[in-house]
Amino acid sequence: MRRSGAGPLWGAGALAVLACSMVAGLLGGAADISPWQVVLQVVDWLPLVHADSGLAPVEQGLLYEIRLPRVLVAAVVGGLLALAGAGYQGVFRNPLADPYLLGAAAGAGLAATVTIVLLPAPAATIPVAAFAGAVGGVLLAYTLGNTAGRTGGTAGGTATLVLAGVAVTSFLTAIQTFVQQFKVEELQRIYAWILGDVGGGWAQFWLVLPYAAVSSVLLLLHGRMLDVLSVGDEEATSLGVRAGRVRFVVLLAASLATAAAVAVSGLIGFVGIVVPHVVRRLAGGSYRRVLPLSLVGGAAFLVVADLIARTVIAPAELPIGVVTMFVGAPFFVAVLRMTRQAAT
C-alpha cells in the first residue's frame, strides 16, 4: 500500500522532469547555445527578474520566436492528449481507450480537414469543428462497440471497443483522404499536418491555450468521481455520484482536449496510452493522481519526442507523429498482452 505522502513527491518529480525536458527542448537545434545561457535567458523572461544571458539579439530572437513557442505547444498538446487518454480510460473503464484508437482524433482530424479544405473559415473556428468531430467519432465507436458486444453476448469488452475504434478510425480516415483530393495542391501541407507538427509559433500556442485550460480544469476536477465510478455504477449512486452526468462531462472534456490538440498539431498517436499506463505503474491507479501526473507527464513526453524529431536526422526534421508511433506501437502491443492475461 502506498503512503499518502507519496503524492506530492510524485508531483514534484514530474514537474522536475518537465522542466528539464523543456530546457532540453530549448537547447535542441542547429544553433549552438550553451545550457547556462539558455537557463539565464529563461530567467530573464520571468516578470520582475533580470539576468544577463550574454546572448546576441539574433540568438534571443531564435529562442523566443521559434524554440520557446514550439516547446510550449508540444507541452500543451502532449499534456492534453495524455489527460484525455486517462479521462477516456476512466469513463469506459478500459485501459486501451485512447483518443487515437477510439476515433476521437480521427473524427477531429476529419472535421478540421473539412473546415480547412472546403470552408473559408478562420483558424479560430477549427477547434470548434474538431470538437464536434471528436465527440462524433467517440460516440460512433462506443455505440458500435456496445452493439457488437451485445450481439456477441458480451457487454462491450476491451477488445470489442478497441476493434470498433479501429474500424471507425479507418472509416473516418478514408473520408478525410477523399476530402483532401479537393485541394491536391495542398496535399503536402495536409499530410505534414496529419503526421503532427508543433512548429506553428505563438499563434498556434495562443489558439490552443483557452481550450486546453477549460478541458484540463474539467477533467482534473473529476478525478475523485472517476475513482468512485471505478467501483461500479450502483456503488457510485449509493455514494451520491450521478454516474451518467460524470461520464457525460468527462467525455465532453476529453473530446475538447483531443480536438484542441488535433486542431493545432495534427494527428499524434499513442500519447494517451503510453503516459497514463506509465503513471499507473509508478504512482498507483487513483485518478486523483493519474490525471494530474498524466497532464505533466504527457507534456514532458511530447517535448522530448519533438526534440528527437528535430535532431535525429538533422538538418532535416522527422514528423513528431512518427516518433510517438515508434514508441507507442510496441507499447500498445505490450499493454494489450497484459490486458488479455489479466482477463484470463
| pLDDT at residue 157, as a whole number | 56
Does residue 90 lie in a domain region?
A: yes
Please provide the size of the chain in residues. 344
Name the maximum alpha-carbon separation found in the chain: 69
Does residue 290 lie in a domain region?
A: yes
Q: Cα dist. 108→183, 235, 261 in Å?
A: 19, 34, 9
Does residue 1 lie in a domain region?
A: no
**What is the per-residue burial (b if ≥16 Cβ within 10 Å, else e) of 252-269?**
bbbbbbbbbbbbbbbbbb
Does residue 149 lie in a domain region?
A: yes
| pLDDT at residue 342, as a whole number | 60
Does residue 127 lie in a domain region?
A: yes
Between CA 94 and CA 92 the distance in angstroms is: 5
Phi-psi region of 154 (alpha: psi -120 to 50; beta: other; left: phi over 0): beta
Q: Is 59 buried (19+), middle (13-18) or exposed (0-12) by CB count in 10 A?
A: middle
| pLDDT at residue 335, as a whole number | 75
Does residue 66 lie in a domain region?
A: yes
| pLDDT at residue 312, as a whole number | 86
Between CA 176 and CA 236 the distance in angstroms is: 40
pTM of the complete model: 0.85
| pLDDT at residue 1, as a whole number | 43
Between CA 311 and CA 175 the distance in angstroms is: 34
How many structural domains are present in the chain? 1
Cβ contacts of 221 within 8 Å, gap of 6 or more: none
The CA angle 107-175-131, to the nearest 5 degrees, is 20
**Where residue 100 sits, what CATH number does that domain have?**
1.10.3470.10
DSSP 32: -
Cβ contacts of 202 within 8 Å, gap of 6 or more: 65, 69
Walk along the chain (344 residues) and give the pLDDT tens digit of each residue: 444 455 678 888 889 999 999 988 988 876 678 888 888 888 888 888 888 878 888 888 888 888 899 999 999 999 999 999 999 898 888 777 888 778 888 888 888 888 877 776 666 677 778 888 888 888 898 888 877 766 554 444 556 777 888 899 899 989 988 888 877 766 666 676 677 788 778 888 998 899 999 999 999 999 999 988 887 777 777 777 787 888 889 988 998 898 888 888 888 888 999 999 999 988 888 999 999 999 999 999 999 999 998 888 877 788 888 899 888 888 878 877 776 666 55
Sign of CA dihedral 102, 256, 322, 328: negative
Give the distance, in angstroms, between the CA of residue 128 and the centroid of all CA atoms in the same chain. Answer: 17
| pLDDT at residue 213, as a whole number | 95
**Cell triple for residue 323?**
516518433
Query: Which domain covers residue 60, as residue numbers?
Result: 6-343
Q: Give backbone dihedrals phi and psi of 119, rounded to 5 degrees, phi first.
A: -115, 135
Helices 104-118 + 243-265 axis angle, to 10: 50
Does residue 62 lie in a domain region?
A: yes
Q: Cα dist. 321→17, 160, 255, 265, 317 in Å?
A: 21, 26, 19, 10, 12
